[in-house]
Amino acid sequence: MHKDTYCPMPFVTLAVNPNNWLSRCMMSDVQMGPITKEGWSNENFTTLRQNMLDGIWDEKGCHSCWFKEANGQTSRRNKWIKHQKRYTGGTDVYENNLSVMRNTIKHLYMNFNNICNFKCRMCGPHYSNSWIPDWKKMGNEYTSIQNPKQQIDVDKFLQEFGPELGELYGIWITGGEPFMDNSVFDFFKKLKNYCDPAQLKVLITTNASKLDVNRLEELSGFKSLQIHVSIDATGDLYPYMRGYNYSWAEVDAKIKELYYAQQKYNFKLSLNGTYQIYNMLNLEEFYNWCLQFVDLEYMEHRVLSGPKHLQARHASDERKQKAMQQVDRLIERYPEHEYFYDIKKELTHDSVEKHKNYFVEWSTKLDQIRGETYDYNR
């Protein structure tokens, strides 16, 4: 067995996409088969699992984790291996659950839909249907344009996999934006018929703009509930990066509302962003604001692995130097926060001229399409 290529996720995590296909994990776009009972033990999955055990790692299919580890950063694979008992309710997958055919489903990742009111600059139409008009204006093709709105067929999913969810321990819901309609609330009502909610940890990633905080009462009864709000930046940079007319004042008000509602509705607030060329000089301000509402352990700021032209490493040397000064100050204050060290490593990489030039071309064109502009150097 090869720990350098092994990952617990394809063994015990069922990852479901809004086009009603399974993917190899939460970090991969590789489609493995349709939502059917046989889908999780088809040739694609059994080959993947066997390759991982035999020391073969598919760089392209596992690009996000491969990229981070190749650059000395912490990947999701690293975190799963380190904390797998926390994610699976005590199961050591590596020692006890390594069938390449079919294992007990301990964790569920559901990319619930591609329906989203935001069109974040680092995103695209596969995760936000609001991106589609701008995507075409940018000169790109979108092969799923005939079905621009996609959402998991909850009833079909539960019909196929519901009987196998009896030992489910964790579930992570993302989108799109999960709270665009009532579907997520309806799903959790039905899910309770197939698993023990008192043993289930629930995490929902959201931009929070469509979340009615009072409805969180409908998500009670689980072992834990975490509302993981994606933010990325503060002030005027926020709406510029997120591509939606949702002001920073509204964001600030919504986070305060969630912060004060935690005890009433028995959930935990967490905040997250992706470190990239747009927000690399906003890091200190971002953390100062976030830490009013959450402790460091509920803060996540991952280095963007793609698209390449938005990676912070391709910024000018002057901007990277300014960014490094911010990171060093934050490390001095919070030396235990692992994300700062990944960011620091990102800033030490040389820029690639073609990616640097393409960022300017790409960002200028998108600014023109959206009628926006922002001074990244301030």
Strand spans (E) along 211-267? 224-230
Report in angstroms the alpha-carbon separations of 29 from 24, 58, 161, 274. 8, 13, 21, 18
Long-range contacts: 47-52, Cβ < 8 Å, 24+? 48/10, 48/24, 49/10, 49/11, 49/98, 49/100, 50/100, 51/5, 52/2, 52/5, 52/6, 52/7, 52/10
The residue type at 244? Y
Residue 83's pLDDT is 77
Q: Please name which of 84, 73, 5, 72 lies closest in space to residue 302, comparing C-alpha atoms.
A: 73
Q: Tokens representing 227?
A: 């509302």
Q: Tokens representing 47?
A: 């080959």
Domain coordinates in residue numbering, the chain: 9-305
Q: What whole-number distance in Å separates Cα of residue 217 and Cα of residue 6?
A: 39
Residues in the chain: 378
As beta bridge partners, residue 274 has 302
Q: What whole-number distance in Å separates Cα of residue 319 and Cα of residue 324?
A: 9
Question: Taking phi first (over 0 means left), then psi (-120 to 50 degrees means alpha), and beta for anything else, what does residue 20 get?
Answer: left
Longest Cα–Cα distance of the chain, Å, equals 56
Is the CB of residue 88 less than 8 Å from the CB of residue 81? no
Interval 307-344: pLDDT, tens: 999 999 999 999 999 999 999 999 999 999 999 999 99
Is the CB of residue 114 less than 8 Å from the CB of residue 125? yes
The residue type at 337? H
DSSP summary character for residue 130:
G
Q: pLDDT tens digits for the chain (378 residues)?
A: 577 888 888 888 999 999 999 998 888 888 899 999 899 899 999 999 899 888 888 877 888 888 888 888 888 888 888 877 666 666 666 666 577 887 888 999 999 999 999 999 999 988 999 999 999 999 876 555 556 789 999 999 999 999 999 999 999 999 999 999 999 999 999 999 999 999 999 999 999 999 999 999 999 999 999 999 999 999 999 999 999 889 999 999 999 999 999 999 999 999 999 999 999 999 999 999 999 999 999 999 999 988 999 999 999 999 999 999 999 999 999 999 999 999 999 999 999 999 999 999 999 999 999 999 888 766
Strand spans (E) along the chain? 13-16, 21-23, 31-34, 107-111, 170-174, 201-206, 224-230, 268-275, 299-303
Residue 96's pLDDT is 62
Q: What whole-number distance in Å separates Cα of residue 34 and Cα of residue 84?
A: 26
Interval 259-300: pLDDT, tens: 999 999 999 999 999 999 999 999 999 999 999 999 999 999
Residue 3's pLDDT is 72
CATH of domain 9-305: 3.20.20
